[in-house]
Chains A and B, each alone.
Chain A
Amino acid sequence: MAKTLYEKVWDDHIVVATEGEAPIIYVDRHLVHEVTSPQAFSGLQVAGRKMRAPEKTFATMDHNTSTTSASLDALSIMARTQVQTLERNCKEFGVRLYDIHHKNQGIVHVIGPELGITLPGTVIVCGDSHTATHGAFGALAFGIGTSEVEHVMATQTLRQLKAKTMKIEVRGHAADGITAKDIVLAIIGKIGMDGGTGYVVEFCGAAIESLTMEGRMTVCNMAIEMGAKAGMIAPDATTAEYLKGREFSPKGDNWDQAVAAWEELKTDTDAVFDATVTLEAANIAPQLTWGTNPGQVVAIDQLVPNPIDASNPTVRSSIEKALAYVDLSAGTLMTDVDINKVFIGSCTNSRIEDLRAAAVHAKGRQVAQGVTAIVVPGSGLVKEQAEAEGLDKIFLDAGFEWRLPGCSMCLAMNDDKLEAGDRCASTSNRNFEGRQGRGSRTHLVSPAMAAAAAIAGHFVDIRKPY
């Protein structure tokens, strides 16, 4: 029977399928961080259970670490306790840990791929919803809760129900300056923040295939922002090229066997999806969110929507509530919206390509008066690479701050947070109320759009001189 990419990976991972029960599927790699793991480790301890495969588990510290100091003293008492608890647990259970002093430390969804932990055709889970990122490699990767983290630790498996399948095809080629972030925001704008609920989405089409691995990760990262269980992109030569020679990638004969296996990982031509969505890449302009969820998005040359145009009362009330929170009026041109904070970073957009794209706009210019802009590389390796290319100097000369790796202002668990009333151009993934700080407003954009907004002090259409 013809199968989709998801169905192939799913079928490959079934350990036990009993009638009337959720199938048990195997987990190849488990990524762990400090915030969602302590209760799982303690659950094992209380029950006297061992970890089944600590060698398939990789831990890092990212959510609440400081981006100004690689010292535990820079953390609040509770954050420090959480970080130290992870250290203790990893030692006790024999889990590899990239702590804040390690050169490989970074955002869990940045380091997994760059260390070659993320491989096509594997199942990867993490107690973090943006685990969807790893689907860019043709892995089935999804976020789980802490009870499931404990289940994986104890059994290296999960009990999961099979999701429905959705194909999202982005046809043709995007215009110059249109990035993966614009593509995925346009998709979410089209299907809504819950349009993917219950589905595993496969992204395909020429505009997806022509993306680099960094771009593909940006797209899959935000699969969760359309409600999808996971996002996947079929592996190809770009995928293999990216993975070859990385620390945990297969080597020698294993590499050849892996590449041969990955070549089978594509949706069969006559496979049937439960739902199909199609976009034309040429129609995608730079995107930005105006409201309080990632589906509330417009193109840079569009206006803030009017609630009276809403399709139903629930949507109307959501728009009204969002407009009140973000303090924008219907009909405002997005290029007229001033910002005072800029965040370039997060598991969505903190990889080398993202920093290069931002640096193009920062180079030789100055951050606008009254604007604070921070750049937070996704990992120690990204930071090192950026510094080797002189990007740090470009940012610093332009008045941006150059920080240490971590999740930072994406969720604002550390000191990097917005104040009430702040308006931020952010390359992160969620613009929920209070996400970056109580009473603050977040507009999601690409790295280029964020850097340009920092220079101009308001959103600009990067396709034109500004």
Chain B
Amino acid sequence: MQPFIAHTGLAVIIDSANIDTDQIIPKQFLSKVTRDGFGIHLFHDWRYLDDAGDQPNPDFSLNKPRYKGASVLVSQENFGCGSSREHAPWALADFGFKAIIAPSFADIFYGNSINNGLLPVKLTAAEVDQLIAEIEAQPGAEVNVDLQALTVTSPSGAVFSFQIAGSARHNLLNGLDAIGLTLAQSEAITTYEASLPAWRV
């Protein structure tokens, strides 16, 4: 996994609550057996007017010229709810997003994002609303997300602090492979297994 230390990029807004993973990556795109190439299908049903994905919906924010190249997504509460499909963070990362900012996230999506080096940032609802207002007012507005300092800097220079579990932050900053770390604990796992009651083996 690539380390995430800090990122500054163009920010795009999807100003809706409860964006579910069926919207982020609809089921018709889950039949692949690889992790790549999901970005083109990101938000398919909102992003395209047709099923084939040939006609972009001009009203959808990701299609607006001012947001082309966006790498920070700002949205509303309960982002990523629903299915556990990791295809959702794969699609967001493949599209080019490095960080998602919202007042809250669904648990499974939050963990999946961290496991893919895509940083989910929780700010307060008021801070998200301020960020959205600033981004809307200023085409080309960039947002800085700093995982070392645990801050988000808005286009006007306002600085918001955020929190993330220390273990998740450490793994992201260092791009650590969680499996490799756990395999180093194999002996403890073997000891635990030896203690299992027969009915649980």
Which residues of A have CB within 8 Å of B154? none
CB distance A143 to B182 under 8 Å? Answer: no
Q: Determine which residue in A127, A131, A197 has the highest number of CB atoms from chain B within 10 A of its CB, and name it.
A: A197
B84–A318 CB distance below 8 A? no
**Which of B17, B26, B182 is in CB contact (< 8 Å) with A159?**
B182
Report how far A224 CA is from B82 CA in the complex, Å.
Answer: 7
Q: Which of B63-71, B108-116, B145-153 contacts A (4 or more CB under 8 A)?
A: B108-116
CB distance from A92 to the nearest CB of B (A): 14
A39 touches B22 (CB 8 A): no
Q: Is B54 positioned at the interface, with any CB of A under 8 Å from its CB? A: no
Residues 1-39 of A contacting B (Cβ, < 8 Å): 15-16, 20-22, 24, 26, 28, 35-36, 38-39
A261 within 8 A of B: yes
Could you give, for residues 16-34 of chain B, a 1 whenever the CB lies within 8 Å of some chain A CB and a 0 otherwise? 1110101100111011111
Q: How many residues of B contact A (CB 8 A)?
A: 55
* Proximity bits, B83-122, A CB within 8 Å = 1, else 0: 1111001000000000000001011100110011000000
Rounded to whole angstroms, the CA-CA distance of A194 and B22 in the bound complex is: 16
**A432 x B82 contact (CB < 8 A):** yes
Q: Which of A74-82, A174-182, A371-379, A443-451 contacts B (4 or more CB under 8 A)?
A: A74-82
Contacts of A24 in B (CB 8 A): 182, 185, 188-189
- Contact between chains at A227 and B17 (CB < 8 Å): no
Measured between C-beta atoms, what is the minimum distance from A9 to chain B in Å? Answer: 11
Q: Are A413 and B27 in contact (CB under 8 A)?
A: yes
Contact check, B22 vs A435: say whether CB atoms are below 8 A apart.
yes
Contacts of B188 in A (CB 8 A): 15-16, 24
Q: Cα distance A412–B27 when bound, in Å?
A: 7
Contact of B16 among A144, A146, A321 (CB under 8 A): A321
Which residues of A, 344-397, contact B by the 8 Å Cβ criterion?
Answer: none
A81: chain B residues at CB < 8 Å are 31, 33
B residues less than 8 Å from A293 (CB atoms): 18, 20, 81
Q: How far is the CB of A434 from chain B (nearest CB, A)?
A: 5
In the complex, the answer to whether B77 meets A314 with C-beta atoms within 8 Å is yes
Cβ-based interface call for B198 (8 A): yes
A54 lies within 8 A of chain B by Cβ: no
**With A194-B78, A433-B22 known to touch, is A261 a contact of B179 (CB < 8 Å)?**
no
Whole-angstrom distance from the CB of B27 to the nearest CB of chain A?
A: 5
Interface size on A, residues (CB 8 A): 75
Which residue on chain B has the smallest CB distance to residue A150?
B179
Q: Looking across the interface, which residue of chain B has its beta carbon closest to that of A257?
A: B199
A257 touches B20 (CB 8 A): no
Flag if A194 contacts B106 (CB, 8 Å): yes
Contact yes or no, B107 A15, CB < 8 A: no
Say whether, besides A78-B31, A156-B189, A197-B106, A20 and B84 are in contact (CB < 8 Å).
Answer: no
9 contacts between A and B (CB under 8 A): A49-B179, A82-B33, A148-B111, A154-B179, A193-B18, A318-B17, A413-B31, A430-B82, A438-B51
- B residues with CB within 8 A of A: 16-18, 20, 22-23, 26-28, 30-35, 45, 51, 76-78, 81-86, 89, 104, 106-108, 111-112, 115-116, 125, 165-168, 170, 178-179, 182-183, 185-186, 188-189, 192-193, 197-200
When A and B form their complex, which 3 residue pairs have the shortest distance between CB atoms, in order from nearest? Answer: A145-B112, A78-B31, A258-B199
**Which residues of A approach B to under 8 Å, CB–CB?**
15-16, 20-22, 24, 26, 28, 35-36, 38-39, 42, 47, 49, 52, 63-64, 76, 78-79, 81-82, 85, 119, 121-122, 127-129, 131, 142-148, 150-151, 154-157, 159, 161, 163, 193-194, 197-198, 224, 227, 229, 250, 253-255, 257-258, 261, 293, 314, 317-318, 321, 411-413, 430, 432-435, 438
